[in-house]
Amino acid sequence: MENISIPNVVMRNVVGGPINLELTSRSRGPNNPPPGKMRNININNIICHDSFFGSSINGAKGYPIENVTISNVRAISHGNGSSQDAEKEPDDILKSPWQGNQWHLPSYGFFCRHVKGLTFQNIRLNTQHKDPRPAFVFIDVEQLELYSIKAQRSDDSHPPIVFKDVTELNIDNCYSLPLITPTYSKFRLSTNTLLSGKEFSALLTASSGKGGVAAIHLQADSGPLATRYVWLDENRPLEIEFRGLTLTKPGMHTLIIENHPKTASLQVKPPSP
């Protein structure tokens, strides 16, 4: 499915989620064919009242939904989600075909996973009842753009937005999701020496006097190494871990966090013969 435009829709008393894009595999062929393609989709001017559940854009691992733009949306859902819902990630759609469990999403607004090229513009999200879940959850999303977003937050038990394995994020004019520059109190590595190509991790503590989205860039002397996007609550330090890092060039390397004066050293040894 591609090159689809859906404009000017008003919905009331929606039993499911108001917007749901799902790429799955029916495996109907004798050779177990891969999922198809879903790309170039524009959804614009949507008003939704009294939806029972949130929306989802859910591709398959290795087969992302591509180039989706959702703009000018006003959505009010029932809410009444739980902290348990917020902490659970639904099964991958290829491993466990969605049935009823897709409605217990970890977000009340949009759950987005395995997507490449995703834009939200001029979005307003609210709930009728208290809901601790984030408004947005992004997992394995590449090239994400957020413009003019306002989303209700019932309490601070969970962040209003969650990023996991997100690359190339751009945020602008988002009242509910301001960009901030954090400060750091700790920065250390899981090891000071390792063999070339072996994985290591970096651990740091970030905080800010203002709540918002922080882009945390980890760099080595050889160049950029990894970037994490996180939500930081006001004056609430957060411990952040970069996992699965590798360096292949033997020698002593210096690692730094952007806008943080402290450095960490790592000696990389040649692989064993």
| Every domain of the chain and the residues it spans | 2-177, 183-269
Q: If you average pLDDT over residues 233-240, what whole number do you get?
A: 94
Q: Write phi, then psi, for 131 (nearest 5 degrees).
A: -145, 115
pLDDT at 132: 93
pLDDT band at 94 (very low <50, low <70, confident <90, very high): low
* Torsion angle of the four alpha carbons 90, 95, 100, 106, in this order, in degrees rounded to the nearest 10: 10
What is the residue-averaged pLDDT of the chain? 89
CATH superfamily of domain region 183-269: Immunoglobulins (2.60.40.10)
> Quick one: pLDDT at residue 201?
95
- Mean pLDDT score, 141-168: 93
71-91 per-position pLDDT tens digit:
999 999 988 888 888 888 877
15-162-181 Cα angle (round to 5)? 145
